[in-house]
Structure 1
């Protein structure tokens, strides 16, 4: 078995050693070298051609964002960012995702995390998955469509529910930023992401989009033209009270290892009376969302289910699991998903 070759980049000698030791505990990975700053990293990427780079967000000489941009320009490589749990760290991490980083790992206690070994399993799992990810994402793709046209729905109570994981921040940016102002449906989203990062993602999407985007809060009124992103570390449900919809957001137990979980959100939407759900499963590892899709179709047989094509996914796990239910109506390239939503729920109705 050929191991995946990893370059570890961090300005702290302690962190370089700790991260290298953790990665080398995997039977699928080996650290071939380390770099102490961004310029050093670029030189070693060009020379060694690693399969994957772990890249600290905050470094001297050249920070993680600038380094990532240079790597993607000169020698595109799978990159996993390491970030502190500060707002600045979260903002830069979300920017890195939009620039092509496959995933990120949150350092548990700042730039130099003496307890980094506490998240060894998470580090190894994310790097193993990222080393096999599709990070190049070429635009030329063929699209498979069950139906040849996108007839508008007739319901006056549509709701769009989206689930995503690895590669999701970049995918969500492509979908949400194309929705028009006044989009006549609420959009509810679960993106697998820890506490402290979902606010940065929501704020970034809001700056770039014509629709309003916010990190959901418990008790929010769910209205048309607004996108609600689940809060990291809490489950997100949509509930019906009278003739209105509200958000219920609270810390619970993870479902299939996830909090927030796509299944939880989808199942809550399935309980809403007289609605027209449109579910979207985007890139991500695992199968979260497929059980929720089954519930949606059972309760609302007219649910329209969309999944992202394998070729445009960073990781095909979640869309593949959804497709295996045989309940998906459209398998679409990422750049077509917003168009399906716009045609199905046109602004002028």
Structure 2
């Protein structure tokens, strides 16, 4: 069996060796070379045509974001980013995912992590998954996220790079209010940040329902994701807080490390966060969110499942279906970075509408109205 050919890029000689050793310990992976910076990565990628590239963000000569942009433009290859846990690292990671990175792994203790072995299993898993997504990565690199915005949001269409703070949006009025008895729930994982941008930026400010979202992502990164999306969207996008009332025209993203449930209090919808055991290895879990929504009464419900590994969301959607009327939208295989979560939902017979990514927003808006 042909091994997965990986190019490892990091400015630290120690990190290059340790990352290479972790990957090569797996019999399915071969590290074909190492690069010290983004420029060297580009040169070696052209020469060696790797299956997957691991790319550090903070490097001299050419940093990881600059190198990633060039890779996606000229030689689309699945890229797994190595990120720090700092706020700056989270912002840069969100930008990397927006540029087309397959996924990321966090260094446990900074640029030179002596304990990088703690995330060794995740790194190997991400590299293997990335190697299966080459066609999707190449397709996504030629398709920019859809940003068809209503006139009220036009001023936000020219948003700044993700590395800067979100702009002051007080001058851009947004319509929101108490929930009108409608709720949209959405689950996604690998490939989700870019997919969320495509969907959420195409929604109007006066969307007549709140959107509760689970995106598989570690603590510290979901806030940066929410702020980035908020700077681009006509609807409001925020990382949800415990006890927050859900309002129409707002998307609420579960914080990393917390399950997100929706409950009814005096007829209103309220967020409940908790840190019970991970479900299927995930916290937040799409199943946990969907199952909580299955218990809501007198609420019209729509459920969306998009790109992601595994089967999170299928059991929860089944409970929603069993409990009452819910309309589901599932992303078509043709646009998924990873066709895992959508596939299991479709195979279970739970998909009412199977549509490509750029049609999800239009489909939802038609169903809501």
Q: Distance in 1 between matches of 2:50 and 2:36?
A: 16
Measure how far apart 1:137 and its partner are: 2.5
- Paired residue for 1:325? 348
What's 2:88 paired with? 88
Q: Which of 136, 139, 157 pairs up with 1:137?
A: 139
Q: Which position in structure 2 is the counterpart of 1:42? A: 42
Q: Is there any run of 5+ residues in structure 2 with no aligned partner, and where? A: 144-178
Shift of 1:182: 1.5
Matches within 5 A, 1:106-117: 106-117=106-117
CA contact (8 A) 2:180 2:209 kept: no
Q: What is the number of residues matched between the two proteins?
A: 331
Q: Which residue of 2 aligns with 1:299?
A: 323
Q: How does 1:1-349 map to 2 (within 5 A)?
A: 1-133=1-133, 134-137=136-139, 157-300=181-324, 302-346=325-369
- How many Å separate the matches in 1 of 2:276 and 2:242? 13
Task: Measure the CA separation in 2 of the matches of 1:235 and 1:329.
Answer: 26
CA shift at 1:118, angstroms? 1.3
For the residue of structure 2 that corresponds to 1:15, the secondary structure is: helix
Larger RCO (CA within 8 A; separation ≥ 6) = 1
Q: 4+ runs of 1 displaced by more than 6 Å?
A: none
The answer (yes or no) to whether the contact 2:180–2:208 under 8 Å persists in 1 is no
Q: Which structure 1 residue ranges, 5 or more long, are not aligned?
A: 141-154
What is the aligned partner in structure 1 of residue 161 from structure 2? none
Secondary structure at the aligned position of 1:136 is classed as helix
**Per-residue deviation, 1:156:** 5.2
Distance 2:328 2:60 in 1: 46
- SS of 1:137 mapped into structure 2: helix
User: What CA deviation, in whole Å up to 9, does each residue of 1:269-311 have, x standing for no partner?
Assistant: 11111111111000000000000000000112x2111111111
Over the aligned positions, Cα root-mean-square deviation in angstroms equals: 1.3
Is the 8 Å Cα contact of residues 137 and 313 (structure 1) preserved in structure 2?
A: no
